[in-house]
Chains A and B, each alone.
Chain A
Amino acid sequence: MQTNRRNLLKIAAAGAIGSALPFGFAGNAFAANKRIAMVVKNLGNTYFDACAEGAKQAAAELGGIDIIYTASTKPTAEEQIAVLDALVAQKVDGLIISANDPSALIPVCKKAAERGIKVISFDSAVAQEGRIMHLNPSSTALIGAKQVQMIAKTLGGKGEVAILSAASTMTNQNSWIEAMKEEWKKPEYKDMPLVTTVYGDDQDDKSYREMQGLVKSFPNLKGVISPTTIGIRSGAKAIVDGGLAGKIFITGLGLPSEMKDYVLKGACDTFAIWNPIEYGYAATMVLGSILNGADAGPGKTVKMGKKGEAMVADNGEAAMGEPFVFDKSNVEKFAKIF
């Protein structure tokens, strides 16, 4: 009898522990961090690395959030869809996407939404039906105008100017170029014609060759605008290598760490960019508040932590702020940051 009772107790105790264990684990699983995946166009791009850094800062500030930073190896829609499929399969909590194709990502983003995953886009937008909102670093008009203003200031408003862009398919580069052309219509740029637009496909070697080609095809070329971090660094290198520093100036969107040498050597007078660390930070802050139940629909205001607030427009887009200009005076300081 007694041994039996003891055995029963043992079994009961074991059973209690046994049944408590999975509950304990389940409790942990519930308490585990929320996972936000930042999916960018392609890996190996310092700009996106800086965005991811900002995302991690925001995650640390918010607490309880893990950042997964990933991308496809090729900047095509189908490769990015494969990456997104894997993240949806893992049941992450939120997605921050820089799209390689705005409409091709709609089905996978809708699938994510159906499974309760919150989707926003930054840098390069997903079409409106595929995401809750899109955060622009600045407004397209401001970015385009800024670049034309910078080269006009450098050249004194005189001389032929060309554009060295990324791939001809890149949504954001194309919309910035549209905005540049809009700014270019103003009378103060009448002595500064836009001669051509070439595409370096966001590859260093191709951008370098396109820059050399520009110099050969347009002997009177004075300035180049490159609205891509890879284009501007390769273009600036081609200017320095060709001994053209001081004769041809490049401007556009670049990273201080990559442009520092070229600014100091005189190939580039000024260039601009928003701070990608702040950009990744702001996007993560927005998604963090959406995960906590905030509404980010058109007409609503979203919170971006220390970057303040932004109003979501009717097209579901919001702007973080104005682009920031770098020159000889501040490039060395920022080169240490990003």
Chain B
Amino acid sequence: MSVTTPNRYDVADRAPFRIADLLLRWETILVLLLATVIAFNTYISPYFLDIYNLSDATFNFSEKAIVALAMALLIVSRDIDLSVAAIIAVASLAMGEASVAGASTPMLILIGLAVGAACGAFNGALVTGFGLPSIVVTIGTMSLFRGLAQVVLEDQAITKYPPSFAAIGQGYLAKGVPIPISFTTFLILAAIFAYVLHRTLIGRRIFAQGNNPVAARFSGIPVDRIRFWLFVLTGTMAGLAAVFLTARIGSTRPNIALGFELEAVTMVVLGGVSITGGSGTIPGVVLAVFVLGLTTFGLSLVNVPGIVINVLNGSLLIAAISLPIIARRLLGKRA
């Protein structure tokens, strides 16, 4: 065979392009899946392909999706944050208390982001400072943060928010343009996250430490510092999600955003990010957000019970994790 053996001193920037690789890419499968979901939903419900309905549907997943973006970076770097939903509860609580005290809308947004960042920093400090596994730390802070909200709120809800604040969560980009602010924010953030992860030095470092933190450390990458800031970033994104969610529903209850953390992790893993770290793409996560969001919306349109939708989403997730492994094994044996 006349395959040119590459010089062992040549290090390619990226793997050589091959059609088979493109077809076998997880993103390609997700695009097909998304197309199937859209076609199926259009077939089962005449109300699906309606720009107003679709834009309304994005309200219900944009907040989770924003959290999922940061979660993707965290999982790529071999960490996880299960306390994000609880952070949303604490950030929402802080905004509620501030609103009752008479804070203005920009102030409320700032408070939401700051509290989220502070909670993230607390997680990051525990993980990097004491060398504790992130899954254990964040299971702990999940109860801690949510407990805090429950202790302060008890059975009360804070519902006093200024109208201009509500407009952020319920509003559209402009009058007559049916694109929600929260969804637009998600798209812009997705572009930024994709650029940072796939086109910058920081992104390469996150992949490197996700693949092998020890080797990354010996290569001069400040592994723990990056991990810390990723937790702060995730907390801040949870804070941002809290701003949108609280503004949208205009109410802070102790059970706000209950279960969001697992939905965010589901989006990330279905998006092709390896749960063991080191690989994954932001476009994949964005596609998974649409697959899950539109599946849920489409099935709700024909009144499939939420429990059944959960079963379906669970099956999708298991398929997402197991199919590549099975495929690799089959292909591996043949090769």
Q: A interface vs B, CB < 8 Å?
A: 37, 43-44, 68, 70-79, 81-83, 85-91, 101, 103-104, 106-107, 111, 167-170, 174
Q: Which of A76, A89, A168 has the most CB of B within 10 A?
A: A89
Tell me, in angstroms, the Cα distance from A169 to B259 when the chains sit together.
Answer: 17
* B56 x A101 contact (CB < 8 A): no
B326 at the interface (CB under 8 A from A): no
Q: Which chain B residues (34-60) contact chain A, with CB distance < 8 Å?
A: 45, 47, 50, 53, 56-57, 59-60
Besides the known contacts A70-B303, A90-B47, 13 further A-B residue pairs in the complex with CB atoms under 8 A apart: A71-B306, A76-B255, A78-B60, A85-B57, A86-B300, A89-B297, A90-B303, A101-B249, A104-B249, A106-B250, A168-B155, A169-B157, A169-B254
For the complex, would chain A's binding face be called helix, strand, loop or mixed by DSSP majority? mixed
Complex contacts, A174 vs chain B, CB 8 Å: 155
Known: A68-B303, A74-B258. Contact between A168 and B150, CB under 8 A?
yes
* B60 x A82 contact (CB < 8 A): yes
A126 CB to closest chain B CB, in angstroms? 12
A-B contact pairs, 20 of them (CB 8 A): A71-B306, A73-B307, A74-B258, A82-B60, A85-B57, A85-B59, A86-B297, A86-B300, A87-B300, A89-B47, A89-B53, A90-B303, A104-B159, A104-B250, A104-B253, A107-B248, A167-B155, A168-B150, A168-B154, A169-B155
* A76 x B310 contact (CB < 8 A): no
Q: Is the interface on chain B under 10, 10 to 19, 20 to 34, or 35 or more residues?
A: 35 or more
Out of B57, B159, B253, B305, which one reaches A169, CB within 8 Å? B253
* B155 x A103 contact (CB < 8 A): no
B309 closest partner in A (C-beta): A73
Q: Which chain B residues (237-270) contact chain A, with CB distance < 8 Å?
A: 245, 248-251, 253-259
* B300 x A77 contact (CB < 8 A): no
B135 at the interface (CB under 8 A from A): no
Complex contacts, A168 vs chain B, CB 8 Å: 150, 154-155, 254
B154 closest partner in A (C-beta): A168
* A78 x B256 contact (CB < 8 A): yes
* B150 x A90 contact (CB < 8 A): no
Complex contacts, A107 vs chain B, CB 8 Å: 166, 170, 248-250
* B255 x A169 contact (CB < 8 A): yes
A88 closest partner in B (C-beta): B56
Complex contacts, B234 vs chain A, CB 8 Å: none
B301 at the interface (CB under 8 A from A): yes
* A74 x B56 contact (CB < 8 A): no
Complex contacts, A90 vs chain B, CB 8 Å: 45, 47, 301, 303
Complex contacts, A74 vs chain B, CB 8 Å: 258-259
Tell me, in angstroms, the Cα distance from A75 to B251 when the chains sit together.
Answer: 15
B158 closest partner in A (C-beta): A103
B105 at the interface (CB under 8 A from A): no
B99 at the interface (CB under 8 A from A): no
B260 closest partner in A (C-beta): A78
Tell me, in angstroms, the Cα distance from A128 to B300 when the chains sit together.
Answer: 26
Tell me, in angstroms, the Cα distance from A43 to B304 when the chains sit together.
Answer: 12
B209 at the interface (CB under 8 A from A): no
Complex contacts, B56 vs chain A, CB 8 Å: 85, 88-89, 111
